[in-house]
Structure 1
Amino acid sequence: MRAALMTISNTADVSSRFARSTTRRGVGLSTLDLLEAEAIHIIREVVAEFERPVLLFSGGKDSVVVLHLATKAFFPGRVPFPVLHVDTGHNFPEVLAFRDETVARLGIRLEVARVQDYIDDGRLNERADGTRNPLQTQPLLDAIAAGRHDAVFGGARRDEDKARAKERIISLRDEFGQWDPRNQRPELWALYNGRHTPGQHVRAFPISNWTELDVWRYIEREAIALPPLYYAHEREVYARDGMWRATGEFSPIRAGETLERRVVRYRTVGDMSCTGAVESDAADVAAVVAEVARSTVTERGATRADDRLSEAAMEDRKKDGYF
């Protein structure tokens, strides 16, 4: 794969330089054009340099955008790597259905690591708070090792969380899958260092420089399909920790909480036990773009209870090998 894609990689480098030069000459490329070109360049570079890449794909908007970029990077051929989902067992059914429909349509192999399997055989224990997001780390690392994946694409963006803002686009993980924020490599002039020793791997973040608004504008421009949860719909919810939580098997209502029917949408679609909705009447992508443009809080800050466990919740999980 590496040798076959060297020409593609070189072409991407030429294209990247051309994009910068045409902008300087005043020909002009939009922000989305430049972000897309950068992301495609990163994806091609990783596939050219690494032997067994894989894409973390949950069916959430960011991983959907990265997969869309990968299809453009290798068109008219198929995406030359599988996708991997770490299934908590508490995922939204609508998102799982969308995940399966997407990989079937694109003809991509889906690898699934299930948290439930680890709970069933005693390798992991349920948390007292009921959330399974922090339990994803070990299944993820085991799946990477089992697939001998040396590069793992992710949809993380720097604007989501201050821990993710510390990440490089190509981020090294040690033999234990751990991340050291003090051991970050320089990435000057879009030069990415993928050097690693046996047992190590890298995480690659093609949309690291994008914002939530960039993602939604790109979804609008490219007419990218998403799970319906991202758009306004009526649902039974209850208020907890400043969020609207959906009632269900994995997020039962507590004493003193009141069940209501409200029109909501989800800005992110993680584990049902820790992901909240926001009140919204944004029923289509144009309305979501306008809503996000007005927002002053990132989607994780607004709707993810697991990131509120401590001031450094995300960074602590990342050091252990989390996304």
Structure 2
Amino acid sequence: AVFGGARRDEERARAKERVYSHRDAFGQWDPKTQRPELWGIYNGRHKPGEHFRIFPISNWTELDIWQFVADYNIDLPSIYYAHRRQVFRRDNMWMAVSPFLQPEEGETVSEELVRFRTVGDATCTAAIESSAVSINQVIAETSVARITERGATRADDRISEAGMEDRKRTGYF
């Protein structure tokens, strides 16, 4: 089994994901082969070559994560808190200037107060405008957010409605 940190609230395709997420012998995910998980009972049986990806925080929300971080006083990298950063607008999102991502013609770099709600591939993960510099400020900000962190910050999810599900079926996740 492989353990992951995906949550069902992040994206529609992940709502179909199970805590025990069955993969076939090729590592591919098929929503039709996912098993019911009633009353917290998980079926880990599989054929030779098949495996599971386990998502123990699947039922948590972004707010649950932040409250856990606060409750256990967990130190996080500063990227999760507001800081001034060189960014540019692309598809109505703040993309960070990096060696992996540069502005294209017509995109202007500016220094903005931003934070990252999720951390991933720098070429497709955007920052959000924020002044939250502490866990409690992030919790307050997250509690009134109207869009999930993926919806607000993932450029690759805007490719198509089924973009994430397509990538899951090919074994990307």
Superposition TM-score tier, normalisation by shorter sequence: over 0.9
Partner in structure 1 of residue 146 of structure 2:
296
1:179 aligns with 2:29: yes
Write the letter of the residue equivalent to 1:224: I
1:314 aligns with 2:168: no
Give the counterpart of 1:269 among 100, 119, 126. 119
Q: TM-score, normalised by structure 2?
A: 0.98
1:259 aligns with 2:109: yes
Distance 1:173 1:288 in 2: 35
Give the counterpart of 2:52 among 185, 197, 202. 202
Write the letter of the residue equivalent to 2:152: A
Distance 1:218 1:322 in 2: 28
Query: Mind listing any 5+ residue stretches in structure 1 that lack a counterpart?
Result: 1-150
Larger mean Cα displacement after TM superposition, 288-297 or 241-250? 241-250
Distance 2:114 2:121 in 1: 17
Distance 1:196 1:247 in 2: 45
Partner in structure 2 of residue 232 of structure 1:
82
CA offset digits 1:243-274 (Å, max 9, x no partner): 11111221111111111011100001111111
What secondary structure sits across from 2:87 in the alignment?
Answer: strand
Give the counterpart of 1:218 among 68, 83, 101. 68
What secondary structure sits across from 1:175 in the alignment?
Answer: coil
Distance 2:60 2:141 in 1: 17
Distance 1:171 1:247 in 2: 35
Write the letter of the residue equivalent to 1:298: T
Write the letter of the residue equivalent to 1:253: P
Write the letter of the residue equivalent to 2:89: A
Partner in structure 2 of residue 285 of structure 1:
135
Distance 1:284 1:199 in 2: 45
Q: TM-score, normalised by structure 1?
A: 0.53
Counting aligned pairs with the same residue, the percent is 62
Give the counterpart of 2:8 among 158, 175, 191. 158
Partner in structure 1 of residue 38 of structure 2:
188
Q: Residue 225 of structure 1: CA displacement?
A: 1.4
Distance 2:40 2:129 in 1: 40
Distance 1:179 1:166 in 2: 11
What secondary structure sits across from 1:159 in the alignment?
Answer: helix
CA offset digits 1:217-257 (Å, max 9, x no partner): 11111111111100000011111111111112211111111
1:243 aligns with 2:125: no
What secondary structure sits across from 1:182 in the alignment?
Answer: helix
What secondary structure sits across from 1:239 in the alignment?
Answer: strand
Q: Residue 190 of structure 1: CA displacement?
A: 1.2
Distance 1:170 1:203 in 2: 6
Query: Mind listing any 5+ residue stretches in structure 2 that lack a counterpart?
Result: none
Aligned pairs, how many?
A: 173
Please list, as runs of the form range in 1=range in 2, the aligned pairs for 1:99-118 lying within 5 A after superposition.
Answer: none
Q: Which has the higher helix share?
A: 1
Write the letter of the residue equivalent to 1:311: E
Write the letter of the residue equivalent to 1:220: A
Q: Which has the higher contact order (CA 8 A, sep 6+)?
A: 2
Distance 2:143 2:39 in 1: 30
- Deviating above 2 A after TM superposition, structure 1's stretches of 4 or more consecutive aligned residues are none
Please list, as runs of the form range in 1=range in 2, the aligned pairs for 1:123-142 lying within 5 A after superposition.
Answer: none
Distance 1:224 1:321 in 2: 32
